[in-house]
């Protein structure tokens, strides 16, 4: 007993000696604050409160405002003007009083002196096309801002108001108390822009025969969002940051030429007034047509309609409940198809497509099909789609979303042919814009502040839908794999490895980033995909993501509500992930620095001998030890290799004989190869270490070490491997799951011949 | 909203001179910003084993289509069954003119290995063989690719030689960059 204790102490001294020997000099050191990448997000996250809990769910005092609209709208196709009279009933559900009301006048970004026009710098080009030069410097700008002609309260009394660029403050006689309602009556008009000329998310497209397709949105003064986190959302509309809006109920009457066909947010209230008898029959029939779409207006009929020009008017009436916005489209050129979709929860939703003949043959083939797939996939990952319909409208070059309705590009060439690019571009944009019904139309995040909360989550679900679309439509996607532009980790690499001067964290306002597409769409979508595939697994991720969607359905979540819910519902601490992927511009780069192969021996190696000498000890002071010698060393070549294996393994074998019965020994592992592998992490993002080992017999094994391996050393991780088979090669992240920006350090032995370039070269030559 | 290539194309079409740039910018700045810094990405890597400089450039197919169409008065129909048969010759001719590599200040010809499509991107493979390791001290890249159709074009270049890595954003006003190697 006594001897064992002594031996143990001696061995302890030996190890102590080893570790001391590794320490460097101890000069004057500076302290530091907690910079560990795994530290909690207390400084970044808002403190939980009764409105929003630490779990990420709405709190007991959570509230949201309500804005109900009754509107009469007239669209004049001759003057290309739109006018409206609207009554807003605003309910203050906040516990505090409101001194004034703010409304969004988004069309004011289109006034001729809009500050948004001069928000970015310019440079004098050496030469410019004359037409462009004249337009820029000689011609007056298009003036498409709001003309507000009346702001009254519910009793018809004029209210003082102030327009500050794209926002309008309305003052009331007295503050609006908690729980009270205020009625506003506003009249307005503006000139509609040609969205193919002046850009924008809405406007008209003019065809050579003079017909116009109108896609109309952000067209009425809308109540700004007022929340517990922002108060009034007063960030102006500069063009990139989209919208922040409260929920409400809408009753809208829209007057257009009587030969126009319309679709809009909400349910049509007077089909018998605006549809012909034949159309009405088809309209009713479509409600139970689950197998294929019913054409309310066929292509043949649309081609007749577009030749007409009626001076009569018709008024279409819509009602929509619990929506944050309202948009509509109108034209005499439209083909109109509707199909009933049976949802998982037993409800029926109408999938609707509306497009001019110029969209065919692409649109009749893919639009409604795509709408249906989107509703199904998104509902599976969030909640059953709660609105009665989803409409995909074809508007050239557009891709823009509103509740129940959206505008999508994808136009074949004039001869009706189209490339795969056009086809997949169209399917993708329909998935994306229909998908926006879930984020942000229902999970109503603040787009003005956080572009990624709807675009990123939506692009992620778009990726899932695209892949499912491919599985369900093999004829449309012969390769079997949908060509998704965003979602796969490899697709974000060229952004994340780029010049840091042009990269911003995801947690940035959309107005202030250099590359909005990568910043608010691609990177967050990829981050979520990596979470699902690699960090959390499908089961834990899908449950947590659904929990988030259902907790915040018809509410206003913040980024923390998402981050917290994902942890709360999965039981995984993800603070490190949010910090690295969402709050920094760090990137992933993990590699292999070196691999050392060791051999076991029973004789003390040089290092131990050295320490024994320093301590004035001899081998007899030590217990039976197993010594390890690196195979690259001289010591190995000169000594170990010269001894017999029996001699080298003597200590080990004796120990096994003394301590295990033959039957126990037969169950032991028998590693013959010992390695020390040093992994290096030049990149700032910690990620699980995925390593594929290839053995001498050709077999392979992939081991995923948890991300926590980086918690005490962010730069390097060393592992000892005892293997029964010889390891012939090692590769980090063999399936490109982590968005590693530099894969040249991912392999041991270093493999030069396997680059993308060489592979391609071999293929073509 | 979708930041799609079609939106980008719209922007370019507008920029081309049909209408006032400033007017259109308001809702499209997202597209321009997206566009500005992501129009093309080129990886320039020194391959030690093959003693070669290997380059992969990624250009948006739409951009190349428009450029080749306008410059050579052809209908390329890239990535379609009806793609112009000798289109690679046009691409190579164009790039010889607009994408130039300098080793130690001297212009060096590259070999056109081929092109490949990846969703909405055309990947062009170029190679300069016989560059001995340690025998060169700088690599210069000059790219004027696509400026002819889009003056606001940005060409991102990542250069990697052994352990030296650097990224550049090339623009019309500053269309070249040089990586100096100190060994």
Task: Assess whether pLDDT exceeds 80 at residue B20.
Answer: no
pLDDT of residue A214: 98
Residue A544, SS3? helix
Q: Which residues of chain B neighbour A497 with C-beta distances below 8 Å?
A: 158, 167
pLDDT of residue A9: 55
pLDDT > 90: what percent of chain B?
Answer: 49
Which DSSP string corresponds to A501-524? GG---SSS-GGG-S-HIIIIIIHH
Q: Determine, for residues A109 and B80 on separate chains, whether the beta-carbon distance falls below 8 Å.
A: no
Task: Assess whether pLDDT exceeds 50 at residue A549.
Answer: yes
Choose the mutation target among A240, A487, A765 for the interface with B, i.e. most B CBs under 10 Å. A240
Report pLDDT digits (tens) over A631-654: 989 999 998 989 998 899 999 999
Structure token pair of residue A757:
């370039």
Q: Which residue has the higher pLDDT, B25 or A580?
A: A580
Q: Determine, for residues B54 and A755 on separate chains, whether the beta-carbon distance falls below 8 Å.
A: yes
Count, in order, helices (H) and strands (E) of chain B.
4, 10
Task: Assess whether pLDDT exceeds 70 at residue A656.
Answer: yes
Q: Is A123 on the interface with B (CB under 8 A)?
A: yes
The 8-class DSSP code of residue A253 comes to: E
Mean model confidence pLDDT for chain A = 93
| Partner residue opposite B17 with nearest CB, options A129, A198, A428 | A129
pLDDT of residue B36: 36
- Residue showing tokens 């290539």: B5
Lowest mean pLDDT among A3-7, A185-189, A279-283, A585-589: A3-7
Structure token pair of residue A149:
């002609």
* Count of CB pairs separated by less than 8 Å, A with B: 196
pLDDT of residue B27: 32
pTM of the model: 0.88
Rounded to the nearest 5 percent, the helix, strand and coil shares of chain A are 35, 25, 40
* Mean per-residue pLDDT, A441-457: 97
| A6: nearest Cα among A665, A507, A620 | A620
* Mean per-residue pLDDT, A141-157: 96
Q: Determine, for residues B20 and A136 on separate chains, whether the beta-carbon distance falls below 8 Å.
A: yes
| A388: nearest Cα among A275, A263, A274, A296 | A263
The 8-class DSSP code of residue B115 comes to: E
Residue A9, SS3? helix
Structure token pair of residue A41:
């997000």
**Kind and range of the H or E element at A428?**
helix A420-435
Q: Put residue A554 in one of left, alpha, beta given phi > 0 → left and psi -120 to 50 → alpha.
A: left
Structure token pair of residue A295:
């054409």
| A252: nearest Cα among A91, A77, A436, A88 | A88
Which neighbouring-strand residues pair with A85? A72, A187
pLDDT of residue A15: 57
Contacts of A9 (CB under 8 A, 6+ apart): none
Structure token pair of residue A112:
């001729």
Q: Which residue has the higher pLDDT, A757 or A132?
A: A757
Residue A495, SS3? helix
Which neighbouring-strand residues pair with A215? A203, A329
Query: What's phi and psi for B88, nearest 5 deg?
Result: -60, -35
Polymer length of chain A: 765
Polymer length of chain B: 183
pLDDT of residue B13: 38
* Mean per-residue pLDDT, B95-115: 95
Q: Determine, for residues A242 and B1 on separate chains, whether the beta-carbon distance falls below 8 Å.
A: yes
ipTM of the assembly? Answer: 0.75
Residue A148, SS3? strand
* Mean per-residue pLDDT, B6-31: 36
Q: Is A477 on the interface with B (CB under 8 A)?
A: no
Report pLDDT digits (tens) over B108-159: 999 999 999 988 889 999 999 999 988 899 999 999 999 888 877 888 899 9
Rounded to an integer, what distance in angstroms lies between the CA atom of residue A304 and that of residue A332?
9
- Model confidence at A750, pLDDT cuts 50, 70, 90, reads confident
| B63: nearest Cα among B169, B153, B175 | B153
Q: How far apart are the first and last CA of chain A?
A: 74
Rounded to an integer, what distance in angstroms lies between the CA atom of residue A658 and that of residue A381?
58
CA-atom Rg of chain B in angstroms? 17
* Mean per-residue pLDDT, B20-37: 33
Q: Determine, for residues B120 and A421 on separate chains, whether the beta-carbon distance falls below 8 Å.
A: yes
Q: Is B23 on the interface with A (CB under 8 A)?
A: yes
Structure token pair of residue A727:
């390891």
Rounded to an integer, what distance in angstroms lies between the CA atom of residue A379 and that of residue A394?
24
The CB-side HSE value for A418 (13 A sphere, CA atoms) comes to: 21
Report pLDDT digits (tens) over A595-631: 999 999 998 899 899 989 998 888 888 888 999 999 9
Q: Are B3 and A516 in contact (CB under 8 A)?
A: yes
Q: Are B55 and B45 in contact (CB under 8 A)?
A: yes
Rounded to an integer, what distance in angstroms lies between the CA atom of residue A743 and that of residue A732?
8
pLDDT of residue B38: 52
pLDDT of residue A161: 98
pLDDT of residue A701: 97
Structure token pair of residue A9:
């102490």
| A184: nearest Cα among A65, A98, A103 | A103
Report pLDDT digits (tens) over A73-106: 999 999 999 999 999 999 999 999 999 999 999 9
Cβ count within 10 A of residue A140 = 7
Query: What's phi and psi for A295, nearest 5 deg?
Result: -85, 115
Lowest mean pLDDT among A258-267, A404-413, B33-42: B33-42
CA distance B105 to chain A (A): 24
pLDDT of residue A125: 67
- Model confidence at A122, pLDDT cuts 50, 70, 90, reads confident
Query: What's phi and psi for A38, nearest 5 deg?
Result: -100, 5
Which neighbouring-strand residues pair with A414? none
Q: Which residue has the higher pLDDT, A621 or A60?
A: A60
Count, in order, helices (H) and strands (E) of chain A.
20, 31
**Kind and range of the H or E element at A459?**
helix A451-472
- Strand runs labelled E in A6-111: 66-76, 81-91, 98-104
Cβ count within 10 A of residue A646 = 9
Structure token pair of residue A78:
């001759």
Q: Are A113 and A241 in contact (CB under 8 A)?
A: no
| A355: nearest Cα among A343, A341, A371, A344 | A371
Pairing between β-strand B154-161 and β-strand A147-153 as defined by DSSP bridges:
unpaired
Q: Determine, for residues A515 and B2 on separate chains, whether the beta-carbon distance falls below 8 Å.
A: no
Q: How far apart are the first and last CA of chain B?
A: 49
Q: Is B38 on the interface with A (CB under 8 A)?
A: yes
Report pLDDT digits (tens) over A343-396: 999 999 999 999 999 999 999 999 999 999 999 999 999 999 999 999 999 999
Q: Which residue has the higher pLDDT, B17 or B55?
A: B55
Q: Determine, for residues A397 and B47 on separate chains, whether the beta-carbon distance falls below 8 Å.
A: no
The 8-class DSSP code of residue B1 comes to: -
Query: Dihedral, CA atoms, A315, A296, A362, A267, nearest 10 degrees?
Result: 50
Residue B180, SS3? strand
Q: Is A231 on the interface with B (CB under 8 A)?
A: no
pLDDT of residue A47: 95
Rounded to an integer, what distance in angstroms lies between the CA atom of residue B129 and that of residue B134?
14
**Kind and range of the H or E element at A704?**
strand A700-705
Rounded to an integer, what distance in angstroms lies between the CA atom of residue A270 and that of residue A315?
9
Structure token pair of residue A521:
């769409």
Choose the mutation target among B8, B15, B16, B20 for the interface with A, i.e. most A CBs under 10 Å. B20
Is-cis flag, bond preceding A714, omega within 30?
no
Q: Are A154 and A185 in contact (CB under 8 A)?
A: yes
Choose the mutation target among A105, A515, A593, A745 for the interface with B, i.e. most B CBs under 10 Å. A515
∠ CA A35-A519-A108, rounded to 5°: 125
CA distance A653 to chain B (A): 44
Residue B17, SS3? helix
């Amino acid at each position: 007993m006594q001897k064992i204790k002594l031996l143990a102490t001696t061995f302890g001294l030996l190890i102590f000696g080893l570790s001391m020997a590794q320490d460097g000099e101890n000069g004057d050191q500076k302290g530091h604050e907690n910079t560990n990448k795994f530290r909690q997000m207390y400084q970044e996250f808002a403190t939980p409160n009764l409105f929003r809990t630490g779990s990420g769910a709405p709190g007991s005092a959570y509230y949201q405002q309500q804005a109900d609209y009754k509107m009469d709208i007239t669209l004049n196709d001759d003057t290309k003007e739109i006018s409206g009279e609207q009554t807003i009933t605003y309910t203050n559900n906040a516990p505090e009083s409101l001194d004034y009301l703010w409304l969004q006048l988004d069309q004011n970004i289109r006034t001729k002196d809009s500050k948004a026009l001069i928000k970015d710098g310019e440079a004098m080009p050496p030469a410019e096309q004359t037409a462009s030069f004249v337009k820029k410097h000689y011609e007056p700008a298009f003036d498409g801002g709001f003309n507000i002609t009346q702001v009254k309260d519910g009793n018809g009394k004029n209210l003082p108001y102030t327009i500050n660029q794209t926002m309008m403050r309305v003052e009331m006689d007295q503050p609006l108390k908690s729980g009270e309602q205020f009625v506003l009556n506003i009249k307005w008009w503006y000139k509609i822009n040609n969205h193919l000329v002046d850009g924008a998310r809405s406007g008209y497209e003019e065809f050579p025969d003079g017909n116009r397709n109108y896609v109309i949105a952000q067209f009425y003064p809308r109540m700004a969002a007022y929340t517990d986190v922002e108060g009034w959302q007063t960030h102006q509309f500069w063009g990139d940051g989209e919208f922040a809006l409260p929920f409400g109920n809408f009753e809208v009457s829209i007057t257009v030429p009587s030969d126009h066909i319309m679709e809009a947010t909400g349910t049509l209230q007077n089909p018998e007034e605006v549809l012909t008898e034949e159309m009405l029959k088809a309209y009713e029939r479509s409600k139970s047509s689950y197998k294929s779409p019913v054409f309310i207006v066929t292509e043949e009929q649309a081609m007749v309609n577009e030749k007409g020009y009626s001076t009569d008017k018709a008024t279409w009436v819509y009602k929509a409940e619990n929506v944050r916005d309202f948009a509509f489209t109108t034209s005499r050129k439209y083909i109109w198809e509707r199909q009933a979709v049976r949802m998982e929860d037993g409800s029926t939703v109408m999938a609707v497509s509306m497009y001019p003949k110029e969209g065919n043959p692409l649109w009749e083939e893919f639009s409604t099909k795509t709408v249906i797939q989107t509703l199904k996939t998104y509902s599976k990952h969030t909640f059953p789609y709660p609105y009665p319909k989803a409409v995909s409208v074809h508007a050239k070059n557009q891709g823009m979303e509103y509740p129940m309705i959206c505008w999508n590009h994808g136009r074949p060439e004039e001869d009706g042919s189209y490339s795969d690019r056009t086809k997949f571009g169209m399917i993708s944009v329909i998935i994306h814009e229909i998908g926006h019904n879930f984020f942000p139309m229902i999970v109503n995040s603040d787009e003005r502040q956080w572009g990624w909360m709807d675009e990123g989550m939506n692009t992620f679900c778009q990726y899932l839908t695209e892949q499912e679309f491919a599985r369900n439509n093999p004829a449309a996607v012969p390769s079997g794999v949908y060509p998704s532009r965003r979602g796969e980790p490899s697709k974000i690499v060229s952004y994340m490895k780029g010049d840091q001067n042009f990269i911003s964290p995801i947690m940035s306002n959309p107005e202030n980033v250099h590359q909005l597409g990568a910043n608010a769409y691609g990177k967050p979508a990829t981050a979520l995909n990596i979470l699902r595939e690699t960090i959390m697994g499908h089961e834990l991720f899908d449950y947590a993501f659904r929990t988030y969607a259902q907790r915040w359905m018809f509410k206003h979540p913040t980024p923390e509500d998402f981050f917290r819910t994902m942890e709360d519902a999965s039981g995984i601490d993800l603070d490190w992930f949010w910090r690295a992927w969402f709050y920094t511009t760090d990137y992933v780069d993990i590699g292999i620095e070196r691999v050392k192969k060791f051999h076991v021996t029973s004789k003390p190696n040089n290092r131990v001998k050295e320490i024994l000498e320093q301590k004035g000890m001899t081998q007899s002071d030590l217990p039976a030890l197993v010594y390890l010698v690196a195979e690259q060393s001289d010591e190995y070549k000169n000594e170990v290799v010269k001894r017999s294996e029996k001699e080298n393994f003597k200590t080990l074998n004796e120990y096994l004989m003394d301590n295990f019965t033959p039957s126990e020994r037969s169950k032991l592992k028998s590693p013959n190869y010992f390695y020390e592998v040093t992994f290096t992490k030049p990149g700032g993002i910690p990620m699980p270490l995925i390593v594929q080992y290839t053995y001498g017999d050709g077999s392979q094994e992939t081991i995923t070490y948890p991300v926590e391996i980086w918690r005490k050393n962010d730069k390097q991780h060393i592992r000892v491997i005892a293997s029964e088979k010889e390891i012939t090669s090692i590769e980090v992240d063999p399936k490109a799951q982590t968005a590693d920006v530099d894969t040249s350090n991912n392999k041991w032995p270093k493999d030069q011949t396997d680059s993308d370039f060489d592979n391609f070269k071999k293929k073509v030559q | 909203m979708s930041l799609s290539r079609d939106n980008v194309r719209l922007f370019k079409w507008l920029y081309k001179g049909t209408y006032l740039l400033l007017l259109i910018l308001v809702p499209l700045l997202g597209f321009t910003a997206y566009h500005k810094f992501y129009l093309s990405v080129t990886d320039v890597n020194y391959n030690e084993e093959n003693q070669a400089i290997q380059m992969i450039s990624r250009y948006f197919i739409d951009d190349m289509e428009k450029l080749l169409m306008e410059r050579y008065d052809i209908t390329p129909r890239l990535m379609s069954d009806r793609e112009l048969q000798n289109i690679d010759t046009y691409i190579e001719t164009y790039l010889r003119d607009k994408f130039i590599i300098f080793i130690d200040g001297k212009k060096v010809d590259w070999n056109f290995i081929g092109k490949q499509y990846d969703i909405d991107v055309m990947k062009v493979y170029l190679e300069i063989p016989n560059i001995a390791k340690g025998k060169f001290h700088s690599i210069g890249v000059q790219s004027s690719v696509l400026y002819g159709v889009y003056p606001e074009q940005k060409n991102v270049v990542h250069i990697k030689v052994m352990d030296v890595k650097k990224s550049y954003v090339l623009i019309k006003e500053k269309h070249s960059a040089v990586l100096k190697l100190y060994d």
